[in-house]
Structure 1
């Protein structure tokens, strides 16, 4: 048979399942299971790294030809895509967790005669309740809540044990390690009546009865949610299936059976149901492309959608420029300096040869060559009466070859003599003769 791999990505663990190529019972589906703890790492990135390791190692039936990865929601869909692309993995299929679970329950024969089923998926990060039509595989209704989760159960055990010991752990790292040991104790309580785990933060000693007294209220709250979802279902629900790591807690099945009034089924190894279903849905991706080599001068769109079988556009490296990056900046700087000199010369002409306020100017007009802002688009300067027009030469990659700017020196104009003093006013007979001083002559500075 074709060697395939199924993966489910949880908040605290990555679970992988591979169908047994040589099952002991021909009429039964057997799988090899592997679990990678993701309590300290990002689950999506850890899943991509783990898949890469498995693909590099041939199994009993040869190398893996197809991979199926179950995702929880659209946000995790995109996060898995990015993590897989970072590992250069493209030959995989992404399938919804509900569809993967339905596929396994159908193949294993556990669905029986039920038509429409409800899934109770209790994991470390939250609870998802889904109603699925078996005939079409369509999810009719789905709700998710984080008010009840496996992490909440871990914290309840941690608070209980710290209160009994009278210990207050202030360091976050020590508290996280203590809570991680409480998670191990919770998992062992699924099959044991009591657990004793020694450690640096203190001994964890708890019985199943004590644990169930801590989690009864949250589980009953989840039962109310299940009743509400089933009551709003467009089709009658025939049975409730418990999957996820939380389904191993015996109290969950007993409370839901009493509250729902429907057959409640807990498959074997409920935490890996989605991974096994993803393996059954895995099919090889024909001609899965690798990351395309970018063409020089062509930039991939940073906002383009990522493909299931191709590398996302944002992974394309920056294109290499054909010219040195500083060449254009040097040429542009040379042109701006030349333009500044022309502007200073024009200012000198206007101030030094404008004449006084009482007499019109007599200096000849001078037209300077305009400075271009962009050296890549040369323009021809306007003709003047004192100098022939000059043409700007396109620059090369060196700043020393910037176009030369030419302009004519202004002609010398002798200073204008001051105007003569005005004649004294006429004398009027019969009035006292008062001689006014002549008005001052104001002489503007010369440049």
Structure 2
């Protein structure tokens, strides 16, 4: 059975699919798992979504809605010269997700759609209507913190015993949500939740743009004003490029200490450091940590009572987030390399058995996910990876002489063989290579040395014979010399 989990976000939408093999993987939109939630209405009534909507808005922004999730209570959205019901606007995004899922994995029969924990029945009904508009099966609605907690236990393999609580810190593109959930026999229950609707990654982008304006607008005020408040197509394209670059620099500063952002209308490469960005957003992040502390207190708990604090949402990867939480609450939070996909994948984990904990530095979906060890509870001593080897004997028992000495091979340990019972001197003891226990080879007598009388005659009289022959040669030489002289 193919299942589809959708996290409809303020800035981006993420979808995960699970095939018949039970493995989850993200849907890719233009090569990335992040689909911009933006919607654009063409003059003929067609609705474009994602990157297509952003590109079309650079020419004519009148029919553009960048964040449909923020319009969930409005009933209708004015796009160009037409009012479009909110379920149709959100449904356009979900329809694009459904089409991509059908193209990549085929039809899906189980749809899980996530929503903020504080959304009431009226807002949840809008999501159900949007899914119906998109042609999807009736979805199962899952609260975002419950999905994140399911990911925490199922994918990461972290232990949350029944009755214990986990805090979810969700900082996305447009909003912040803090939730405390408690593990039950059936899943997770929400104990307390709070949120800040005016704090998110978009606000951090705006703070960085304003910082650049304070640095460069005094010398070129007219050009800068035309960039941030465009009046023509060229200026709108330049403004969109500016905000895209600012968002990219913000994300880059989570990995490096400095980066450059291009100011298109001014033709300037502005240098920005991580310290500058942190000084701009520290106040916003401090408010999120305060909200998290209040939520924990609202659940009747202290930070020390929690099994951990789990960071999700794209903006939670900013290093200052984890530093402030650890400093203010005394708990090292659990962080991931790609926190955007946690909620969508966690929605698919409901009812699934927990996976074994991944090795350090590895995560699900092929992506490494380092988890703070301080945020993972210890449930007992870790069993040894291998059974202990029995102790080796301290001394080898004495062995009787063997008929043949076999050299010891390097890298191999020979099992010691105890000495056999005493035997008569005429029978040597069994060696280590005896084929049958207790068997003793028959004694082999050593051949005796041959008697002296049996030696060859030349072996006995050789020295005398050599002496005689030498003497005859000498006499012959002397006689020959005398004859030659007398002649």
Normalising TM by the smaller chain, what interval?
Answer: 0.5 to 0.7
The structure-2 alpha-carbon separation of the partners of 1:96 and 1:208, relative to structure 1 and needing over 3 Å to count, comes to same
C-alpha distance in structure 1 between counterparts of 2:213 and 2:134, whole Å: 41
From 171, 182, 204, the counterpart of 1:122: 171
Deviations 1:332-383 (A, max 9, x none): xxxxxxxxxxxxxxxxxxxxxxxxxxxxxxxxxxxxxxxxxxxxxxxxxxxx
Greater displacement, 229-238 / 2-11: 229-238
Q: Which runs of 4+ in 1 moved over 6 A?
A: 20-23
Does 1:182 pair with 2:246? yes
2:216 to 151, 165, 172: 165
Distance 1:149 1:171 in 2: 24
1:107-256 to structure 2, matched below 5 A, reads 107-113=154-160, 115-135=164-184, 136-166=187-217, 167-168=224-225, 169-171=228-230, 173=236, 175=239, 177-198=241-262, 200-202=264-266, 203-235=269-301, 236-256=305-325
Distance 1:54 1:89 in 2: 12
In the TM superposition, what whole-angstrom CA distance separates every residue of 1:174-214 from its partner, at most 9, and x where no partner exists? 54553343222212222233222435345453222221121
When normalised by structure 2's length, the TM-score is 0.52
User: Which protein has the bigger helix share?
Assistant: 2
Are 2:106 and 1:56 equivalent residues in the alignment?
no
From the superposition, tell whether residues 279 and 205 of structure 1 become closer, same or farther in structure 2 (CA, over 3 Å): farther
TM-score computed with the length of structure 1 as normaliser: 0.56
Shift of 1:249: 0.5
Q: How much has 1:103 moved relative to structure 2?
A: 1.4
Counterpart residue number, 2:17:
18
Equivalent residue number for residue 79 of structure 1: 126
CA contact (8 A) 1:67 1:282 kept: no
Structure 1: gaps spanning 5 or more residues: 24-28, 284-447
CA distance in 1, matches of 2:343, 2:333: 18
SS at the partner of 2:285? helix
Q: RMSD value over aligned CA atoms? A: 2.7
Structure 2 Cα separation of the partners of residues 97 and 226 of structure 1: 16
Shift of 1:65: 3.0
Gaps of 5+ in 2: 28-32, 39-53, 55-65, 70-89, 218-223, 353-487
Aligned partner of 1:276 in structure 2 is 345
| Cα distance in structure 2, aligned partners of 1:160 and 1:31 | 39
Greater displacement, 241-250 / 69-78: 69-78
Question: Which of 243, 260, 266 is residue 329 of structure 2 equivalent to?
Answer: 260
Q: Secondary structure at the match of 2:311?
A: strand
TM superposition shift of 1:127: 1.0
- The whole-number CA distance in structure 1 between the counterparts of 2:147 and 2:244 is 29
CA distance change for structure 1 residues 254 and 262 in 2, over 3 Å: closer, same or farther? same
